[in-house]
Amino acid sequence: MDISTLCIHGADNNTHNTGAVSVPIYQSATFAHLDVGKSTGYDYSRLQNPTREYLEKVMANLEQGTDALAFSTGMAAITALMELFSIGDHIIASGDLYGGTVRLFEHISRKNGLKFDYINTSDLDAVRGLIHPDTKAIYIESPTNPMMQVTDITAVCEIAKTFGLLVIVDNTFLTPYYQQPLVLGADIVVHSGTKYLSGHNDTLAGFLVTKNEDLSERLRFIYKTTGACLSPFDSWLLIRGIKTLAVRMDRQQENAVKLANWLTTQKKVNKVFYIGLPDHPDYAVSTKQASGFGSMISFEVDSETTAIQLLERLQLVLFAESLGGVETLITYPMLQTHADVPMEERLERGINDCLLRLSVGLENADDLIADFEQALN
């Protein structure tokens, strides 16, 4: 079945017998038992809820996994993921990560005894050079946030397999519609469901997806114990959002290609970081492992003054800290997504006061270009 069809009919809707096309919202915290030792399969919504269960089956099918866990936020998903590891365990991570993930690793996970090294995971020799006996996992964002670096996931998985390491891939930017890391060899896929999967900037959610039964069992135990499960209503919002994922991603990518190419022609724009541009250094890797480029663009303007001018003058494009919704959003990473990353580290990664990140939405592309033109000039 084509993935665009899976987005709409991603799991069997056998939670009811009413004929309702839309999956019901089971707004219940607890479920009555039929008798002693007899259960409907549901006990308490922290463990499982019929609405969330349907959503999780959809996500598992989209990623070609066997289990998916839906969390209250993307960060809740990553926080639970870190509970797989023990004091002294070492994790290699992409050097250009979402600032919230860095904040978790550096201020919570390190406190709990985990160790991290950050590297451009597209440099395979550098990845190999960081592996030592305490290394347990390689954590990848691809493309990275916000510098749009792409890692060869299959190549990293081959290295990891040699050393018995887990490979974890944050697939938020491309979604399973364009990229399926489990198929490429990864063990766990992470999503901020808040972004493209929801698609409407109206709810928070996170996912962990795997096809490994042992990992599924361990993650389910952590899940029910720590309790950051997605509510029934938010699960329904994600189910609804995913139904239009394919058409949204295609239109947003179409807009992003037009806008990225236009930005490359502007005198006040020094660099454009978009993996769909043929001159992007990771373009070949992208075309090998993904079926699309997505709609995330970062670009560097000629001065801080120009950056501020853009943020203040844009009218259609909204200055906001998120991505993946139907509205086009522009973000200033140094003040928003990466504000908690030390300045020296930010600058080393290219996150300076001239860098802006753009999540391209569903508006008419010519209207977006016209908005940028008036703001720049």
Catalytic amino acids? 46, 98, 170, 195
Sign, CA dihedral 299-303-304-306, equals: negative
Q: Is 115 left (phi over 0), alpha (psi -120 to 50) or beta?
A: beta
* Alpha-carbon gap, residue 45 to 228, rounded angstroms: 11
Helix ranges (DSSP H) in the chain: 3-8, 50-62, 74-81, 99-104, 124-130, 153-163, 175-178, 213-226, 232-243, 245-263, 283-289, 304-313, 343-348, 365-376
Q: Which residues, 6+ apart, have CB-to-CB distance to 174 below 8 Å? A: 142, 143, 290, 292, 294
Alpha carbon separation from 158 to 45, 164, 186, 293 (Å, rounded):
38, 10, 10, 24
Q: Is 95 helix (H, G, I), strand (E, B) or coil?
A: coil
Burial string for 347-362 (b: 16+ CB within 10 Å, else e) reads: eebbbebbbbbbbbbb
Alpha carbon separation from 229 to 32, 113, 233, 273, 294 (Å, rounded):
20, 25, 12, 35, 28
Q: Which residues, 6+ apart, have CB-to-CB distance to 97 below 8 Å? A: 105, 118, 141, 144, 145
* Alpha-carbon gap, residue 20 to 117, rounded angstroms: 50
Tell me the two tokens of residue 8.
Answer: 């709409």
Q: Is 296 helix (H, G, I), strand (E, B) or coil?
A: strand
* Alpha-carbon gap, residue 104 to 321, rounded angstroms: 18
Q: Which residues, 6+ apart, have CB-to-CB distance to 254 below 8 Å? A: 365
